[in-house]
Every structure is written in structure tokens, then in C-alpha cells.
Amino acid sequence: MSDTAATARHRPARIAAATMNRNRPFPTPRRRRLNAVLITAGLLLPAALAQAKCASMAYELDGRVVAADGTAVADAAVSASWKDYFGPHAEHATTTADGRFRLSLRIGGYVGGNWLTGDRCGQFTKTVNVTVDSAGHATVSHDLELTAPTLQADFTLR
């Protein structure tokens, strides 16, 4: 009997096999990095896809911005902002030469959940804050209640 075979009999099977076959008993550094990436993706992906399971509401916000004298305000910055489970959101637009703007808002209804109770959906944001800013005019901000899929909001800047 050879010395290698005699020594292998007294070692645990996994270490003996690795020594005899020159296999690595533990994952390589490259394999460990790949495992870390896959585990991280596996943990983050369900949270990212959770909102996709719940329905979202689409709103169109149309409006016009005029100065105190009634003339249209071109190139005014209009933004609508709201907050939901995933944090703050905003949509931005710029008024045209005749002072008109249009914003498309998509507001999700995801409110949380876990593996035991599942996802909770259906509580939608009821208001958005609409802010209009233009050079030479004071900034105007209003909370707009989301009551219909198409909303009209006109602003007068001072």
C-alpha cells in the first residue's frame, strides 16, 4: 500500500478527495464574488418588483400659467411632487409660448407587505403639490386634489 492511500484513509473524506483529485474544497474567490452578487440581486429584486404587482393610477394634469395682467408666461417651470411608500416623486414640464403645460402622473398604490401577509395595495396618494416658478415672478405652490383622471389647473403669477 502506498503512503498516499494510507494517509487518505485517516483524513475526512472531503479533504482526502480534494487532496487526491486536486479539487478545491472551498469556493474560489471568483465564485464567492459571483455568489455575493447573486444573493444581493435576489434580495433587492423582489423589493423592486413589488410595486409592479399593485395597480397604479394615471393622471393628466393640464393647465395654463398667466401673469397678473393676463398675459401668458412662457418657459415657466411647472413641477408636480408627491410622496408614497417608495419615497418622493416628481414630474416636471415647461410652459409653451401660450403658457400651457401638460404633466403625466403615474401614482402607485403599493403600501408595503412581507412574505407572510403578502403585498398590500390600494392606498393611493390623494394630493400632489404643484409648483410654478418663473423668472421675474413669485413662485406659486398649491396642493391639488386628485379627483379625476384628467385635471385642470390654472395659475396666476404675481
* pLDDT tens sequence across 74-132: 999 999 999 877 789 999 999 999 999 999 998 877 767 766 666 677 777 889 999 99
Q: Are residues 89 and 124 in the same domain?
A: yes
Q: Are residues 15 and 76 in the same domain?
A: no
Alpha-carbon distance of 14 to 16, in angstroms, equals 5
Q: Are residues 46 and 68 in the same domain?
A: no
Domain that holds residue 48: 3-52
Alpha-carbon distance of 147 to 81, in angstroms, equals 16
Categorize the per-residue pLDDT at 51 as very low, low, confident or very high, splitting at 50, 70 and 90.
very low
Helix or strand (DSSP H, E) at 40 = helix 29-53
The last residue of one of the domains, among 20, 36, 52, is 52
The last residue of one of the domains, among 11, 27, 52, is 52
Contact yes or no for 131/141 (Cβ under 8 A)? yes
Contact yes or no for 99/76 (Cβ under 8 A)? yes
Q: Are residues 104 and 47 in the same domain?
A: no
Residue, of 59 and 5, whose pLDDT is higher: 59
Give the single-character DSSP code of 27: -
Q: Are residues 115 and 75 in the same domain?
A: yes
Q: Are residues 58 and 41 in the same domain?
A: no
Q: Is the pLDDT of residue 60 over 60?
A: yes
Predicted confidence at residue 134, as pLDDT, reads: 92
Helix or strand (DSSP H, E) at 65 = strand 56-67
Q: Which of 39-53, 59-73, 82-96, 109-123 has the lowest mean pLDDT?
A: 39-53
Q: Are residues 19 and 48 in the same domain?
A: yes
Can you name the residues that pair with 105 across neighbouring β-strands? 59
Predicted confidence at residue 65, as pLDDT, reads: 96
Total domains, the chain = 2
Q: Are residues 7 and 36 in the same domain?
A: yes
Contact yes or no for 101/95 (Cβ under 8 A)? yes
Helix or strand (DSSP H, E) at 46 = helix 29-53
Residue, of 107 and 30, whose pLDDT is higher: 107
Give the single-character DSSP code of 151: E
Q: Are residues 63 and 132 in the same domain?
A: yes
Q: Are residues 58 and 128 in the same domain?
A: yes
- CA neighbor of 125 nearest in space, from 103, 104, 145: 145
Q: What is the CA radius of gyration of the chain?
A: 30
Average pLDDT of the chain is: 79
Q: Are residues 93 and 83 in the same domain?
A: yes
Predicted confidence at residue 109, as pLDDT, reads: 75
